[in-house]
Structure 1
Amino acid sequence: MKILSYQDSGYAPFVRRLNRRALPEPGTRDLVSTIIAEVATKGDEALFTLTKRFDGAILTAKTLFVSDAEFAAAEKAVTPETKVAVARSLKNIHSFAKRSLRKDWSAKNAEGATVGERFTPFDRVGVYVPGGKAPLVSTALMTAGFAQAAGVPEILAATPCGPDGSVNPALLYALQAAGVTEAIKVGGAQAIAAMALGTRTIRPVDRVFGPGNSFVVEAKRQLVGAVSIDLLPGPSEILILSDKTGNAEFIAADILAQAEHGGDSIVGFATDSKALLGKVVKAIEKQLPTLNRSKYIREVLKRGTFLLHVKSFAEGVSICNAFAPEHLSLITAEEDRWLPLIRTCGAIYLGNDSPVAVGDFLAGPSHTLPTGGSGRSFSGIRADQFQRRTSIVRLDKESVRKSLPVVEEFSRIEGLDAHGRSTAIRLEK
């Protein structure tokens, strides 16, 4: 872990580097560009080749999609407890999603024309669910579950299979419970390309959702235009910002929980209490040996974890807004003072008793959130992202008459006389 105090010489340069921009590494960018080109030109064959290369699995046209028999077997294989957990999570997801769906409206403008908006679900969306070290069952729910709540009729899921071509049964059960209509056993940048561009057997989608590693995120970035995307959600991040009221045991547990994701995860802790920082370090050392995935956690603690003793809580807030973390845990006796000043993060967890893990699995808001500093520009997955917006305009003769002088003036300014004529002609006898 990198532990720094505002009094240390290396503190200021390190803090400046926390002001990030979500830009791709040149090597990642070039490799993803090559993968996209292969899928665009070779379609299914490229998927088979790339899956064998990266995942060690041999797929064919018959095994590319998860079959009905595989979905049925997964439903039989999962425990009753898993089914209850999935149902409870989906219940909260749907309840939260329904509140944020946009609704049709109409009104009269100043000239008497009727204007409004109509919102309809996308016809077909793609959701990406990472595989890797753990089956992210919750991610299936927090992507497809929102599409299901929005009424999307076709939901295509993509998730990598194991070397034997199988997908975790609990993950398959969750996908089916969340309304997925098709699922392909492909991961990585090639899965994003297949969903965006389509192949001989895979019909393209209107929009792609879901988190992934740096290659998945870069594929989404490069394919904007061919398809729309939700956001740029990469490896997991957390920043915990606490004053002296923070519970060291709880903070250490949240640090270790987010480090459990492994890989390129980033974990940060900032406090204006030097005593609390010392307690957190000791609590981490105490809790770590008791955890099953301590190997992955140690890697993240070594490479991607920083603990900062800041000069003031206000400085901690500034660091948060510059860092734009995926998750922020905000612990302070002056919550009403500091919360309004937090502007750039994916999700905020308030107080000592709000573990991020509850948000990961159950609370209701999607855990698919912006990372890598992209929280300045993106928000997490919302139900209204699964809706297509269309504006509506209706005029009658009177509203045309009232509109004409303004239309004719803009037509004169812009040299577009046909625009003015198209309006004036409606008032000629």
Structure 2
Amino acid sequence: MRILKVQEFKKEVLNEVLNRGKQEISSIESSVKTIINDVREQSDKALLRYTEKFDKVRLSASELKVDEGEIKEAYKRLEKSQIAALRKAADNIAAFHKKQLRAKWTMQIADGVTLGQVTRPIASVGVYVPGGKAAYPSSVLMCAIPAKVAGVEQIVVCSPPGKGGDVNPALLVAADIAGVGAVYRVGGAQAIAAMAYGTGTVPRVDKIVGPGNVFVTAAKLEVSKDVAIDNPAGPSEVLVIADETGNASFIASDLLAQAEHDPQAWAILLTTSETLASDVKDEVYMQMKNLSRTEIIQSSIQKRGLIVIVDNTEEAIDYSNMIAPEHLQIQTKNPNEVLSRIQNAGAIFLDKYSPVAFGDYSSGLNHVLPTAGYAKIYSGLSSLDFVKTMNFIQCSREGYRNLKETTVAIAEMEGFDAHAKSVTIREEKNNED
């Protein structure tokens, strides 16, 4: 893990950081398109063939959907404490995401003119959850619960089968807790195609969300002309802003927590304190020895672990806004003052006792966040991603008169006399009546 002065960082590394995480998919686009076309044309047969090819699992069409008995059995395979943890996390996620919704509002723009907006859920959502060797029940909760809260009626999950065709029991329990209607043991680009276009077994959905590898990302981009998708996700990243009050062991643990996701993950500390910089580096290497995913962490920390000594907190804030990290932790004397100046971040963790893992799992914040600098223009997944709004207007006769002249003037200015006539005819007919 490198310690750099801010001048070195700006000259040697900043450009790489700003251009991080852009997944190169051109080399696999042709293969992904072939898979998608095969699923569209051959339906379940293509799903079964690609599942056998990529996941080394032979299934029949009737086995693609996980049955109720398997879900019940999944509960028996988890500890009671694990089930309780999933339920507690689900409750917190639901509470936080309910707060984001606004069902209806109205306003009077002029006498007799009522404007308003109503919110309606989209009809169906497909959630992709990585599987196989790893299991991510938290991703099920983070994607499905906001959709459920928003009122989406049909929610399905696709996840690749593990050895023997099983789906991880924690994933199945999470899906059940989240109110998912069906789980399908299919992964990769073929799963995205199935949810985008439908097969004999997997239903077509209106929107697909959830993380995945480069093939999943490429597939989502390919089908996005026909179905809505969330933002493509890149490798995980964390940036910490800290002054001399920061806790070195806490900061190191949060850097390592993101580094264990992926060898391509970024872990960056911007600090005003040389002492803290040195202490954090020591802590990183000391704590790393006791972690199970050491090889992944070492690769990430060696290539993309940075400690940058800045001149002041304002400079750290400026660089943070420029980088727009997925996760931003603030350990300073006045974290809320720093927060007030942050413009770009996926999620923000204030003070020493707010580890990023709280956002990943239990607090209720959503962990599906923009990476690769996309926090400059995108937000994290929320219940608002699963609704659409419809605007409405209602005018009385007085309201009609208040808007008539303005509307006719602009319509005639643009040469649309039918628009103007659609307004004036109402007064003409009223006069006749």
Q: Which amino acid aligns with 1:411?
A: A
Q: Is the 8 A contact 2:133 2:162 kept in 1?
A: no
1:391 aligned partner = 391
Shift of 1:278: 1.1
Shift of 1:199: 2.4
Q: Is the 8 A contact 2:256 2:284 kept in 1?
A: yes
Q: Which amino acid aligns with 2:17?
A: L
Shift of 1:171: 0.9
Shift of 1:234: 3.0
Q: Is the 8 A contact 1:138 1:361 kept in 2?
A: yes
Tell me the SS of whatever aligns to 1:234: coil
1:17 aligned partner = 16
Q: Is the 8 A contact 1:208 1:228 kept in 2?
A: yes
Q: In the alignment, is residue 87 of structure 1 matched against residue 87 of structure 2?
A: yes
Distance 1:58 1:323, change over 3 A: farther
Q: Is the 8 A contact 1:192 1:219 kept in 2?
A: yes
Measure, in 2, the Cα distance between the counterparts of 1:340 and 1:355.
20
Which range moved further: 364-373 or 48-57? 48-57
1:367 aligned partner = 367
Tell me the SS of whatever aligns to 2:163: coil
Q: Which amino acid aligns with 1:216?
A: V
RMSD: 2.1
Q: Which amino acid aligns with 1:117?
A: Q
1:298 aligned partner = 298
1:110 aligned partner = 110
1:274 aligned partner = 274
1:258 aligned partner = 258
Distance 1:22 1:357, change over 3 A: closer
Q: Is the 8 A contact 2:112 2:397 kept in 1?
A: no
Shift of 1:303: 3.2
Distance 1:182 1:170, change over 3 A: same
Shift of 1:116: 0.9
Measure, in 2, the Cα distance between the counterparts of 1:239 and 1:47.
40
Shift of 1:24: 4.0
Measure, in 1, the Cα distance between the counterparts of 2:22 and 2:298.
26
Q: Is the 8 A contact 2:336 2:350 kept in 1?
A: no
1:159 aligned partner = 159
1:179-328 equivalences under 5 Å are: 179-328=179-328
Distance 1:193 1:169, change over 3 A: same
Shift of 1:316: 1.9
Q: Is the 8 A contact 1:74 1:173 kept in 2?
A: yes
Measure, in 2, the Cα distance between the counterparts of 1:214 and 1:342.
30
Tell me the SS of whatever aligns to 1:364: coil
Which range moved further: 26-35 or 319-328? 26-35
2:353 aligned partner = 353
Aligned length: 428
Q: Deviations over 1:353-404 (max 9, x none)?
A: 1111111111011111111111111111111222221112222333223322
Q: Which amino acid aligns with 1:343?
A: Q
Which range moved further: 113-122 or 214-223? 214-223
Q: Which amino acid aligns with 1:215?
A: F
Q: Is the 8 A contact 1:331 1:351 kept in 2?
A: yes
1:416 aligned partner = 416
Shift of 1:258: 1.3
Tell me the SS of whatever aligns to 1:164: helix
Where does structure 2 lack aligned partners over 5 or more consecutive residues? none
Measure, in 1, the Cα distance between the counterparts of 2:141 and 2:227.
22
Tell me the SS of whatever aligns to 1:290: coil
Tell me the SS of whatever aligns to 2:262: coil
Identity over aligned pairs, percent = 38
Q: Is the 8 A contact 2:93 2:364 kept in 1?
A: yes
Measure, in 1, the Cα distance between the counterparts of 2:234 and 2:67.
29
Q: Which amino acid aligns with 2:84?
A: V
Distance 1:294 1:145, change over 3 A: same
Measure, in 1, the Cα distance between the counterparts of 2:182 and 2:365.
24
Q: Deviations over 1:137-172 (max 9, x none)?
A: 111111111122222221111112113211111110
TM-score normalized by the length of structure 2: 0.92
Distance 1:362 1:51, change over 3 A: same
Tell me the SS of whatever aligns to 1:109: strand
Shift of 1:187: 2.1
Q: Which amino acid aligns with 1:359?
A: G
Which range moved further: 202-211 or 361-370? 202-211
Tell me the SS of whatever aligns to 2:328: strand
Shift of 1:331: 1.0
Tell me the SS of whatever aligns to 2:164: coil
Q: Deviations over 1:98-140 (max 9, x none)?
A: 1111221223222522221111222211112222553111111
Shift of 1:425: 2.1
Q: In the alignment, is residue 139 of structure 1 matched against residue 150 of structure 2?
A: no
Measure, in 2, the Cα distance between the counterparts of 1:134 and 1:186.
15
Q: Which amino acid aligns with 1:14?
A: V
Distance 1:115 1:189, change over 3 A: same
Q: Is the 8 A contact 1:20 1:322 kept in 2?
A: no
Measure, in 1, the Cα distance between the counterparts of 2:419 and 2:306.
60
Q: Is the 8 A contact 1:232 1:374 kept in 2?
A: no
Measure, in 2, the Cα distance between the counterparts of 1:319 and 1:218.
30
Q: Is the 8 A contact 2:21 2:234 kept in 1?
A: no
Tell me the SS of whatever aligns to 2:308: strand
Which range moved further: 73-82 or 125-134? 125-134
Shift of 1:348: 0.4
Q: Is the 8 A contact 1:24 1:218 kept in 2?
A: no
Measure, in 1, the Cα distance between the counterparts of 2:82 and 2:36.
36
Shift of 1:30: 4.6
Q: Deviations over 1:323-373 (max 9, x none)?
A: 211101111113243222211110000111111111111101111111111
Q: Is the 8 A contact 2:113 2:399 kept in 1?
A: yes
Shift of 1:88: 0.8
Tell me the SS of whatever aligns to 2:65: coil
Tell me the SS of whatever aligns to 2:116: strand
Which range moved further: 91-100 or 227-236? 227-236
Q: Is the 8 A contact 1:21 1:374 kept in 2?
A: no
